[in-house]
Structure 1
Amino acid sequence: MYGLIAIFDETTEQLIKTIWKELYERSISAYAYEVEDRIPHITLASYNNLNISDFIEQINEIYENQPAIDIKFNSIGSFLNSGALFYSPTMTKDLFEFHANHHKKFEQFNDDPNSLYIPDHWIPHCTIANRLSLEKLTEAFHYCTKRISTIQGKIVGVALIDVSDKSKAPIIYSKELIK
């Protein structure tokens, strides 16, 4: 199984990693450390099977002239009955089109019509904690709402990750966007 993720500028990535570390140090969540190579991201698409060389070739072609996208996280959310906590970006026209264009141009690779990442199902988010008890979810929510007010950054690249092994998520290939 594979995912295509949007990756952030260094400042945004480091801020989220710091929050992950603080949640871990407070014994609230070990989310960041459950998977080797985990980086802050927004998942754009998922695939069960993939012709990797064809997919990478298309990434290079499609994202060659794609400018970086401004992103602003100013809300926190949770999926029902998941124990997940995430920062939710403001859905701008640029973010919406970035996601929609990906799915339009990579349609031949879509092998899961029920994916949570396809248009009309996608809830863009950057996970902060996952699989928490109600008590820990409440604790994480309170901590994160007081920890920062808004995160402003950029999506500066896309990366193809392999999530076949639940203990690691290595980047197979990444492509920088135009800064």
Structure 2
Amino acid sequence: MFAIIALLDKKTENLIKEIWQDLRKQSISFYAEEVEDRKPHITIASYNHLDKDEMIQSMDQFYDSTFQVEITFNSLGTFLNSGTLFLSPTMSTSLSNLHRTHHDFFKRFNDNPDSLYLPGKWVPHCTLANRLSHDKLCEAFKYCSKKLSTIDARITEIALIETILTDGRCIAAPEVYSKKLLSNTIEV
């Protein structure tokens, strides 16, 4: 399986990794260690099968003139009956456009009509912990709601990852290709 993910600026990436480590130290969640090569991200799309070379060429073309996207994480949430805790960004026009235009341009690759990352189904999020029991989910929520406040972040890069499964569980998610987005700040 493959996914297109939005990677975050280094400051935000480090903050989320710190949360992952804190949850591990408190024996609440081991999310960061469950998958080799895991980075904080927002998944944009998923694909069961893919011609990697064709996708890379298409990503190069499509994202060549795409600017970084400013986002604000100001919600902490969970998917029902999932044991997952995540940060959710405000759905801005820029974030919505990034997602919609990706799916419009790359629709020929869509091989999973049930994907939760398709327009109309997508809940943008950055996972903090998953596969938690109800008690651990409550602990994680309590910790994160005290520790975190609004996070102003940027999507700075789009990456193609391949998910490596063993016994139905993802054990690695190596980056196949990434494309840095154009900075929308003017250097003086």
Among 176, 179, 182, the alignment partner of 1:178 is 182
Deviations 1:73-101 (Å, cap 9, x if unpaired)?
00101000000000000000000010000
Give 1:134's aligned residue. Answer: 134
Detail structure 1 runs of 4+ shifted over 2 Å in the superposition: none
Q: TM-score, normalised by structure 1?
A: 0.99
Deviations 1:34-84 (Å, cap 9, x if unpaired)?
000000000000000001101000000000010000011001010000000
% of aligned pairs identical?
52
**SS of 2:172 mapped into structure 1:** coil
1:144 counterpart = 2:148: no
Give 2:15's aligned residue. Answer: 15
Q: Is the 8 A contact 1:2 1:164 kept in 2?
A: no
Could you say what the CA RMSD is over the residues aligned between the two structures, in angstroms?
A: 0.5
Query: What runs of 5+ residues in structure 1 fail to find an aligned partner?
Result: none
Give 2:172's aligned residue. Answer: 168
**SS of 1:98 mapped into structure 2:** helix
**SS of 1:154 mapped into structure 2:** strand
1:38 counterpart = 2:42: no
- Which amino acid letter does the alignment assign opposite residue 175 of structure 2? I
Q: TM-score, normalised by structure 2?
A: 0.94
Deviations 1:106-165 (Å, cap 9, x if unpaired)?
000000000000000000000000010000000000100010111111000100000033
1:121 counterpart = 2:94: no
**SS of 1:15 mapped into structure 2:** helix
1:66-145 map, 5 Å: 66-145=66-145
Query: What runs of 5+ residues in structure 2 fail to find an aligned partner?
Result: 184-188
- Which amino acid letter does the alignment assign opposite residue 173 of structure 2? A
**SS of 1:119 mapped into structure 2:** coil
Give 1:59's aligned residue. Answer: 59
